[in-house]
Chains A and B, each alone.
Chain A
């Protein structure tokens, strides 16, 4: 955390003259006052709250020097019809870390994210070639069970999209899809998921109330709770804070840092300070190509590529 706040401070220096508004600068200060405190409660101890059923297999032991690779990407290209959206990506998404995908709009980072749990299957013209491998599972193979894949690779969307059901039923939705559980187990899982998403204390008295009555930030944390209730190995986040106010953003970012202890997280963001704050590694995309991928600290301090430097200092994009 200390390293990250250093990066953030450095980054706030370089981005002083960019279009990023004062909101983001105010966001750099709460590092001294954790956002969870700002909501008037302490974030629950995460390791305790994790449900046994949802623990991903093969999580690296603490202190392991080089984390194994969760998702291996080799010579990966993608098309929408005749338009090539991604060109020959080569990337390793490390296990148990937060990988941020940054880049200007239309650079293909969301497309790449949506390939990792095959959400692009819903788009008729979308197709992909190359290797996309999750622990030995070829994600692109026709034979891959998309339903099982999406259970292993959860997704949180840009706009909070809770179902028009109760808070409880939103979280219970995923578990009910995949297996029949006794109601007691289900209640435990709902509580643990909500605790893991730092939402339990706010909603524990109104689990039967409609999820649509929550604030935007609470809805997004509910969506995260919903995603982790099925016990995924990887969490994909597609600009999870872009529709939220700064306070809610801070809460989500804090949550991401906690979740990173348990899950492999890939996050797409337009907010470079956010990338700097929450991620361990950052990949910079430009016009469908992966320009640079390295440790976040290095990307934001000594980027190897001129385009990366131009982008993170706000000269374009």
Chain B
């Protein structure tokens, strides 16, 4: 190469390359191929290890292997008895301090609720935004600004949305008091809870100023009375719905003559509720327990009742606090940019000739969207949305910020219910020292993965089946 000279044409120089270079290149090619294969197999191997270890650890908590063995090896009912193979209690039990008794009932229902709220909120907003951006808006500085923002939002870490949601939904910027003391709510009935000497529960409904309540008069005949002051009006307010504009009065001592509900747990576990009139004994400790028809109940600890509340399915309060509604809206924030972008792609994929045809026949833009572009775009919108929602199911971080409790022994009954979700339950179990909890965490992971795979499969099926050619 030394003799080539500076002025020789480059093409000639290339021809005079060293003979060894071909072998080097072949080796390099092979080496790079091996490197790529290694990289690819790393992903596959890691996934295989993950699935293997999780299955080994978690499957015994979902599948009852002894019954499975009994069905086949020991001459049982074979496939007919498949219901006995599953440890249903893992799905129907709440979490427990003992791994054997722990189940995923609360997080499973929590995930379903949060997911449904998230989808119900994110789909209309996301698709609506996409319709505006693609079908109505003209390209100007404002819409380009929005577009840039949506793309940026899609890249924001989900925990940041958690902090936003904590301020905007859980606390509502402090505009409506705190979540423990909300300033605007309806669908709640408040009770003061007392224990009787006999250990029974007495609840006295809390009423507020302006409520008309039935009060037992001195002559023993009940009559209606308007509550005049919040602190003194703890009478038998009927548990009817009303918009409360002031916080309910604080708990107060039980008084003689309070109308109350007596809860008695029968030996067979039934709870019998009876309307009673309270008679408070002067000496708590000497108070006899009730017997006979419970027209009157003697209570102790009358000075320290517990405030409880009962809700209906339509109960609502501002701010949302750590409710399932706040959780769903938080995840909506996380997936909204994804849904908007995928929906926009779906509308862009609709050939503009179809729009032109519709407009040229005198359709308005909305008629064109409603009858032409939206029907054509729906399969792709569904695909993108399902993938986005499956991401929402797997999110833990933003809900953790929201202050979702980790130990829940109830399923949600309304939008204001407390909840937990599968990823948080897994996080909680995996963080405990006992190995058995790690195993049920693995079992919960199996359930979570199964749900996610189902969603992804659904998206693929919709993409395959519903995608009709458009031109």
Contacts and interface: CB of A to CB of B under 8 A. Distances in A.
Interface of A: 117, 119, 122, 124, 147-151, 154-155, 157, 159, 161-164, 173-174, 177-178, 210, 212, 223, 226-227, 230
Nearest to B360: A155
A122 to B, nearest CB: 7
A230 B356 contact: no
A177 B367 contact: yes
A124 B362 contact: no
A238 to B, nearest CB: 10
Nearest to B140: A124
A164 B353 contact: no
B361 A154 contact: yes
B381 to A, nearest CB: 16
Given A150-B361, A151-B362, A177-B367, A159 B353 contact: yes
Interface residues of B, number: 22
Given A124-B139, A164-B376, A173-B371, A150 B468 contact: no
Nearest to A165: B375
Most chain B beta carbons < 10 A, residue from A117, A150, A161? A161
Contacts of A147: 362-364
Nearest to B371: A173
A154 B372 contact: no
Which 3 A-B residue pairings sit nearest by Cβ, starting from the closest?
A151-B362, A161-B353, A150-B362
Given A163-B372, A164-B469, A212-B469, A157 B363 contact: no
Nearest to B357: A161
Nearest to B351: A161
Most chain A beta carbons < 10 A, residue from B357, B360, B363? B360
A174 B362 contact: yes
Given A150-B359, A226-B361, 16 more contacts: A119-B356, A148-B362, A151-B362, A154-B361, A155-B360, A157-B357, A161-B351, A161-B353, A161-B356, A163-B358, A164-B470, A164-B471, A173-B358, A177-B371, A212-B469, A230-B362
Contacts, number: 65
Contact of A164 (B362, B364, B367, B468): B468
Interface in B365-383: 367, 371-372, 376
A163 B471 CA distance: 8
Contacts of A227: 360-361
Contacts of B154: none
Interface of B: 138-139, 351, 353-354, 356-364, 367, 371-372, 376, 468-471
Nearest to B361: A174
Given A124-B138, A164-B470, A173-B371, A154 B357 contact: no
Most chain A beta carbons < 10 A, residue from B138, B362, B372? B362
Given A173-B371, A177-B367, A157 B356 contact: yes
Given A161-B357, A163-B372, A177 B363 contact: yes
A174 B353 CA distance: 16
A178 B138 contact: no
Contact of B357 (A122, A148, A178, A223): A223
Nearest to A146: B362
A223 B353 CA distance: 12
Contact of A154 (B351, B360, B367): B360
Contact of A161 (B371, B469, B471): B471
A269 B115 CA distance: 56
A155 B363 CA distance: 13
Contacts of B138: 124
A157 B351 CA distance: 13
28 contacts: A119-B360, A122-B356, A124-B138, A124-B139, A147-B364, A149-B362, A150-B359, A150-B361, A154-B360, A157-B356, A157-B360, A159-B353, A161-B471, A162-B357, A163-B354, A163-B358, A164-B376, A164-B471, A173-B358, A173-B371, A177-B361, A177-B362, A177-B371, A178-B362, A212-B471, A227-B361, A230-B361, A230-B362
Contacts of A155: 360
A163 B359 contact: no
Contacts of A226: 357, 361
A148 B361 CA distance: 9
Nearest to B376: A164
Nearest to A223: B357
A164 B377 CA distance: 11
A223 B359 CA distance: 13
A212 B351 CA distance: 14
B354 A119 contact: no
Most chain B beta carbons < 10 A, residue from A117, A177, A226? A177
Contacts of A212: 469, 471
A230 B358 CA distance: 12
Contacts of A149: 362
A163 B470 CA distance: 7
Contacts of A230: 361-362
Contacts of A150: 359-362
Nearest to B138: A124
A243 B373 CA distance: 24
B203 to A, nearest CB: 58
Contacts of A178: 362
B406 to A, nearest CB: 50
Most chain A beta carbons < 10 A, residue from B351, B359, B372? B359
Nearest to A148: B362
Contacts of B354: 161, 163-164
A154 B371 CA distance: 19
A156 B353 CA distance: 11
Contacts of A210: 468
B144 to A, nearest CB: 13
A173 B363 CA distance: 9
Contacts of A157: 353, 356-357, 360
Nearest to B353: A161
Most chain A beta carbons < 10 A, residue from B361, B468, B471? B361
B143 to A, nearest CB: 11
Nearest to A156: B360
A212 B371 CA distance: 17
Contacts of A151: 361-362
Nearest to A150: B362
B376 to A, nearest CB: 6
A212 B359 CA distance: 20
A149 B364 CA distance: 12
